[in-house]
């Protein structure tokens, strides 16, 4: 995998030096370079990049101002001669802040870190998309639970009871942790103590849902949004 990048610096010599260093790094591909930040806005509307090597003090539009105008969130490595913007820059969640003159060693260290972080994020995303099960700790064992088999989850103080079509697992976790992990297209929280699987709901009313022989209440806080979503699925008006 190669990271597509651009260089933005109002000093042509700086661009030449940085570009020369980047040519030595096999996972970096320099797509373009700019001596002004303004043209970058138009460029990014039609081009996808992973990383920007960005100067701060530039005429018309500074590097910091450019970041604030972007509609995308590429990785940013500042290359600047001024220390005074460091705190403000990291508040913008940039990846690194390199002071000029830029050395190859310092640039390599920074790009390596960005590359590793992007690879980790993509691997995690791939695992989340590909994985169709989760391991839950029950007593001293890690128990495999397939998402497709989950009927509902119930909060029991410091524990969560995960009820599936083939077994029930009691694990020490918070229900909110599951809410963050579960796909909202497949699961919905209907009560402070319950999350249910959409496709396992056999019937519902304004007060609750039925999953098999189990009646699960819909909490007052969740009622409006839950009924609206369920009505969209069923297209049936409840009297």
In 3-state terms, what secondary structure has residue 74? coil
**Token couple for 233:** 């699925």
pLDDT tens track for 146-205: 999 999 999 998 899 999 999 999 999 999 999 988 988 899 999 999 999 999 999 999
pTM reported for the whole predicted model: 0.56
Domain 3-129: assigned CATH number: 3.40.50.2300
The CATH superfamily of 133-234 is: LytTr DNA-binding domain (2.40.50.1020)
CA dist list (Å): 112 to 91, 109, 120: 22, 5, 12
Query: What is the per-residue pLDDT across 89-120, written as a single tens digit (0 to 9) for each?
Result: 888 889 999 999 999 999 999 999 999 999 98
What mean pLDDT do residues 211-216 have? Answer: 95
Residue 238 reports pLDDT greater than 50: no
pLDDT at 26: 96
How is the chain split into domains, by residue range? Answer: 3-129, 133-234
- Computed over every residue of the chain, the mean pLDDT equals 91
Q: Report residue 168 as tokens.
A: 């029930």
DSSP string across 89-129: HHHTT-SEEEESSPPHHHHHHHHHHHHHHHHHHHHHHHHHH
Cis before 72 (ω within 30): no
Q: Residue 35 corresponds to which tokens in the numbers above?
A: 């001596």
pLDDT digits (tens, 9 = 90+) for 2-42: 999 999 999 999 999 999 999 999 999 999 999 999 999 99
Residue 128 confidence (pLDDT):
61
Contact 160/175 with Cβ under 8 angstroms? yes
- When pLDDT is averaged across residues 217-232 and rounded to a whole number, the result is 90
What is the mean predicted confidence (pLDDT) over 221-225?
Answer: 91
């Amino acid at each position: 995998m190669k990271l597509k990048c651009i260089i933005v610096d109002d000093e042509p010599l700086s661009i030449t030096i940085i570009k020369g260093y980047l040519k030595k790094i096999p996972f970096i591909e320099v797509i373009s370079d700019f001596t002004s930040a303004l043209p970058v806005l138009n460029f990014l509307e039609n081009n996808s990049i992973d990383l920007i090597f960005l100067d701060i003090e530039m005429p018309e539009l500074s590097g910091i101002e450019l970041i604030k105008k972007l509609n995308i969130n590429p990785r940013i490595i500042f290359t600047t001669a001024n220390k005074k913007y460091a705190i403000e820059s990291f508040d913008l969640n940039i990846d690194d802040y390199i002071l000029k003159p830029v050395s190859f060693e310092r640039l390599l260290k920074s790009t390596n870190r960005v590359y590793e972080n992007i690879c980790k994020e993509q691997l995690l995303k791939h695992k989340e998309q590909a994985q169709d099960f989760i391991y839950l700790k029950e007593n001293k064992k890690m128990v495999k639970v397939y998402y497709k088999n989950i009927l509902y989850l119930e909060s029991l103080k410091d524990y969560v009871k995960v009820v599936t079509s083939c077994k029930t697992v009691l694990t020490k976790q918070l229900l909110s942790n599951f809410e963050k992990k579960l796909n909202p297209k497949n699961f919905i929280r209907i009560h402070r103590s319950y999350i249910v699987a959409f496709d396992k709901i056999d019937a519902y009313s304004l007060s609750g849902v039925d999953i098999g022989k189990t009646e699960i209440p819909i909490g007052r806080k969740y009622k409006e949004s839950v009924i609206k979503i369920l009505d969209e699925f069923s297209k049936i008006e409840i009297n």
